Structure 1
């Protein structure tokens, strides 16, 4: 499969690029600074520099001829999301450029606090943990909510992946999944497993048009 990856220099994005190459895919990694792409050169890896991810005309060439898109974009902090939202503006341009380029399949990372409370979660999670996170990181989640709305309003065959707190751990492939829900008791997951979920949903028609909660 020919895949374009946005957010390729981030923790999840680098894992997406590595795992996609290991699986035999052709990857176009979209970056602003190629020096930050911590992935060895590969004959199936094309690095495309795009300075402004809201520039739809600049996005069409990196999408033309591809079969799927993975977005690992997201704000790095609440302050950044408040001052310069990342995911929402970029995905509005990306889904429009996808339509122009004739690419329909998209998977994008979001966050568990945007999903519904999981059945079976205790009062601590429902009453304290998630409400506190939603207040402390309200600008991050506002940016991701705009992103999800843009994706949902698009003509793409999309899947939004909603993980809890991310950890730098090896891929297990044994994480739990919940369609249109959060995973009960889901507190953490490895970035490598988030990358795995982003890639595997591309060929899973059951997840198209849905949000997927994942957790270790």
Structure 2
């Protein structure tokens, strides 16, 4: 599979690049600052291409998208001060995709943006409400991003993880298409990346939000 990864210098995007290469895929990593990009292993077999692009310009992105089978995006706010970046940069991506032949798109959002499990207990509901209040601007941004993605002509999937952790890949996570795993409170960035790659080839996930958690 030939994939383009946006947000390749971030925790999730970098893991998508690393795992995709290990799986034998051809990867185009789109970065704004190449000095911040690194990947484990030896990419000299030619399956990795690093493209520096201005993510506010659709025209800059088109060469990195043309001929790809899918786009996986880890774009999002690194801090509360960055709120708005997910919507702004994803709209640039969607505009660029309109001029190419690539239609499959997998993006990262967050659990509080999607539906809560029907059997959530008091503690989980309280924690969800508290986090949503503290990170209100970030989640408002992600909701707007999801709206833009859902209104596009792409074959999209939105992945919604809970609190992120830096831990090795386990593969022991749960996914719920159209919902969220009960009592799913944490997940590692490496497992989010793994789920994104797996969902890319899952027809049931097209035009769906997918909750992922341990």
- Fold shared, TM-score > 0.5 on shorter chain: yes
Q: Which residue of the partner structure matches residue 169 of structure 1?
A: 167
Any runs of at least 4 consecutive aligned residues in structure 1 with deviations exceeding 6 A, and if so which?
A: none
Partner residue in 2 for 1:50? 53
Q: Distance in 1 between matches of 2:152 and 2:116?
A: 26
Distance 1:117 1:194 in 2: 18
Aligned partner of 1:16 in structure 2 is: 16
Deviation at 1:67, TM superposition (A): 1.0
SS in 1 for 2:24: coil
- In structure 2, which of residues 58, 61, 64 is the aligned counterpart of residue 59 of structure 1? 61
The Cα shift of 1:54 comes to: 2.3
- Residues 54-108 of structure 1: per-residue CA shift (max 9 Å, x gap): 2111111111111100000110111221xxx211011111112112111100100
**How far has the Cα of 1:148 moved from its partner?**
0.5
Q: Is 1:88–1:144's contact at 8 Å kept on the other side of the alignment?
A: yes
Measured in 2, the distance between the counterparts of 1:118 and 1:77 equals 27
Separation in 2 of the partners of 1:117 and 1:10? 26
Q: Given the two structures, how large is their TM-score scaled by the length of structure 2?
A: 0.96
Q: 1:150 is matched with which residue? A: 148
Tell me the TM-score normalized by structure 1.
0.95
- Aligned positions of 1:90-129 closer than 5 A: 90-126=89-125, 128-129=126-127
Report the alpha carbon displacement of residue 144 of structure 1 after superposing the two structures with TM. Answer: 0.8
Is there any run of 5+ residues in structure 2 with no aligned partner, and where? none
Give the equivalent residue in structure 1 for 2:76.
74
1:89 equivalent to 2:88? Answer yes
Report Cα offsets for 1:9-38 as digits up to 9, x if no partner.
000111000000001110000001111112
> For residues 179-202 of structure 1, what are the alpha-carbon distances to aligned partners after superposition, in whole Å with 9 as ceiling and x for unaligned?
111111000001000000111111
Q: Work out whether residues 48 and 62 of structure 1, in 8 Å CA contact, stay in contact via their aligned partners in 2.
A: yes
SS in 2 for 1:151: helix
Q: Which runs of 5+ in 1 are unaligned?
A: none
